[in-house]
Structure 1
Amino acid sequence: MFEAINKNVSKFASFTQGELEQFNSLLKYQKIPKKTYLLQEGEICNFEAYIVKGCIRSYFIDANGFEVILQFGIEDWWVSDIASFNDKKPSKMYIETMEDCELFVLTDTNKEELLHKVPKFERFFRLIVQKNLSATQNRLINTMAKSAPEKYLEFIKLYPTISQRVAQHYIASYLGISAEFLSKIRTKISKQ
């Protein structure tokens, strides 16, 4: 049951079987139906979740009332609102399941217990935060410096299975373009 998540954490640090068992004992396995909010704006995020199965989106509502997708999360990814989780401040975003999901959830309390009992996990969490920051910086640069077709091609490279799993308007929101413009881009690319 814990094979995938143990493999995920072991990519970043070396753990003994006992340390992994300690980690596993602090995780809560959850099956979450499609279209369920894990977090809503104004709530304080008290979890970090590993996605065993399913697709999740993180987004905020802009000043004009439009959803702006910040990230998709799929199998073998972690999802949370890092700012809200770390600072214990109300979130500015929503985290919602887009498919039926299976998750391993680590609460803030359990994470503190884990870090106290198995300090090596500090390295793991530091490295995934660095990886997340790197991805966020790359996304920001791509958003500002690339054309819409280039952003779409980069998206397909980053998320090769998402276009078969979510509606086109969600992808358009992630790219910061209209669904109609995305349709034109996809048609043009498919003809090349």
Structure 2
Amino acid sequence: MDSMPYIFAGLVGLASLAVSLLLALRRLKTSEERIATAVSRKQAQVERIKKIARVTLQQARDLRDARRRKAMADLGCEDLEQRLKAAGAGDRRIYVLDDRRTQKDQGWLLRVVNIEYASRVNGNLTPTALDGWKRGRRFLVYALDEKKAREKVNARFPENKGFTVMGTESYLG
């Protein structure tokens, strides 16, 4: 019977080993669950990143295409402007000074020029607009006769500001 304490100590050791193994297995299972959760979160994150990358890539392609189209349009505009300048095409616009008229009024086209527009009126205009004033702008005016049409234009564009009426013609439009 002397071996009883040894057996008891062995059984206690075995029981503590079993309890520690159970706790270790529980911790292992918890760790496996955490790892599985982390892997699934990582996979979901990878999928989101891939989706965002595809969208970003498509946006980059769209941006490149838009820039290419813009560059082509700019080249086309420059080419058209050069051809218009080469052809000496004048400004064909007609500005309506006043559309009020009576039954007896006629339409008159008056070309108004101001070579010093930038210094006397407004220097902040674009070079194209300033060039338009130098070459002259055509205004449609309704009046009884040419003299009244000139008076209307001079009231709006006075000579003391550098405006000059360079030509008058009847407008049948």
Q: TM-score interval w.r.t. the shorter chain? A: under 0.3
Q: Which has the higher strand share?
A: 1
- Compute the TM-score of the two structures, normalised by the length of structure 1: 0.24
- Compute the TM-score of the two structures, normalised by the length of structure 2: 0.27
Q: Report which of the two structures shows the higher radius of gyration computed on alpha carbons.
A: 2
